[in-house]
Every structure is written in structure tokens, then in C-alpha cells.
Structure 1
Amino acid sequence: MIIVSDKKIIKHAMSTGDALVDIPVRVTFEYTLEDQQFVPRSMSRKALYNIGPVLRRFATLDRDELERAIDRTVDRALEEHLRYAGQLSGAADLYPEQVGTQPAGTVNADPVPEDDGPRIILPR
């Protein structure tokens, strides 16, 4: 089992009627590979983007709707990344199940089962 940690900059393209806007999104993500294949529900990610100027420039945009659209773009890009690398085939089940108020794309805080082998913790 290998834990992969990577960073990407993804552009979210948005049409506002009178302009086409690209919002750069810096994404840091980690996932687990077993036999060079993606382990379902092992993805965690953090997305960083500056939404303030976009909302000030285009006042009619809904913040929550824009954030959901950016999340969908990031998820599609990560799935495409895994497929292009040959690490994902079939349906993509990227993230662990959400527990309580846990945000999407974060790792569950469940303890590691004792029967698992040693874990590799990579610096962020």
C-alpha cells in the first residue's frame, strides 16, 4: 500500500453572461494505491481559492452555488487525473463517508485497525 500526496492547480471556468472567468484553484490531495490501483474512499483534498474578488465583481452570484460548482470541477479533475494515470477504472468513489459535520474531501478521524501494517505518514 502506498500513500500518494500531490498538488495541482485547476482552473474553474465560469460564464457570467458578459464575461468568461477562470478561477484558479490550488488543490492538495492524498490518496492510497494498492497494486497500482486507487483504493476507493481513500482520497482527501484541500482546495484553496480566492472567491472574494469574484463575488465583488459579479454581485449576482450565489456564494454557496459557486463553491459547489468549484467542488464539482475539482472532483472531476481529480477523477480525470486518476483515470489518466491508469489508477482508476470503473465508478469513482473518491471520498470517505461523511460523519456528522465533517466537510467533503476530508479524512475520517477513525483509528487505524490494529491488523493493518505500518502506515507511512508523508509531510504536507
Structure 2
Amino acid sequence: MSYSFSLQSHNFRNTYGTGCFLLYNTGTAIVHSSQGLLTTVAYQFGARAPITYALEGSIAVAGQTFKWLRDNLNIIADLNEIESLVQKSSSHTDVVFVPAFSGLYAPYWQRDARSIICGLTDETSKGR
């Protein structure tokens, strides 16, 4: 767990990298989610200190998507292009992309799920 994870109960942190991981600090209570989240140990400061727990929601593919757009589809030449494409795009586009390259993690946990792009029209373009 990252050093900047909140030490206060009921705070959360998102970590983005190849995947995405949300951790919600539940304090010393072990909370069992009915929504498909994982219960995990957040931290313990010393053998006699209380254990602090967290709920974790995991997404297998986040940042890896941009590498895929660059290396497999050639939609971008450089990762720095992403920001300018986002700024050009319409905020009311109906295009949805679910990058389930490794299946879906929380809360569905479907290993056989596949990626999908939907909502494409003849006006859909690189920046839209």
C-alpha cells in the first residue's frame, strides 16, 4: 500500500497504473462487501498495534489501454497526445469503451469478459 494512503477511517485512495485500484479505509472493522469488493489489510504499525482494513475495488486495465491504443491501433504516436485528444472531444459523445483485456474485475469478476467499443457512428473520429 502506498505511503500516501489515508490513515483516517472512511477516506479512500485511487491508484492508477497498468490497472486501477480503489482502497477505502474501513478502520479496524473488517467489512465484508456485498457489492463485489475485496476486504484487505491496509496497514499495521507494529506487532501490537491494531490492524487497519480496507475495501478494494480493482480494475485490471487502465493505463495499459493507452499503450494498446499506441502500439496496437496506432491511434496515438505518443502518450502525450492523449490530453489534446480529450480536450478536442465532445463532452456528449455516446462512444463507450470497456477495456476488458483481462476480463472484468470488481465488482463483476468475469474472467471471460471481452473488451467492447460501442456507440460508433460515421462521425466518430480519432478526436471524437
More contact order relative to length (CA 8 Å, sep ≥ 6): 1
TM-score (norm 2): 0.19
Question: Larger radius of gyration, structure 1 or 2?
Answer: 2
Task: Specify which structure has the higher proportion of helix.
Answer: 1
